[in-house]
Amino acid sequence: MEYYELHPVTPQLRYINKAVEVLKNGGIIIYPTDTVYGLGCDIFNKEALETLFSIKHDSGSKLMSFVCSDLKDISNYAKVSDYAYRTMKRLLPGPYTFILPAAKEVPKKLWSKRKTVGIRVPNNQIALTLVKELGNPIISTSVTNRMGEVLSDPSEIKHVFSTQVDLMLEAGPLKGKSSSIIDLSEEVPEVIREGAGDISMFV
CB contact at 8 A, 91 and 174: no
What range does the domain containing 195 cover? 2-202
Q: Please, which pLDDT band fits residue 60 given cuts at 50, 70 and 90? A: low
Model's pTM, two decimal places?
A: 0.94
CATH code for position 67: 3.90.870.10
Number of domains in the chain: 1
The pLDDT tens digits of the residues spanning 148-203 come to 889 999 999 999 999 999 999 999 999 878 999 999 999 899 999 999 999 999 87
Residue 96 makes CB contacts below 8 A (sequence gap 6+) with 120, 179, 180, 181, 182, 197
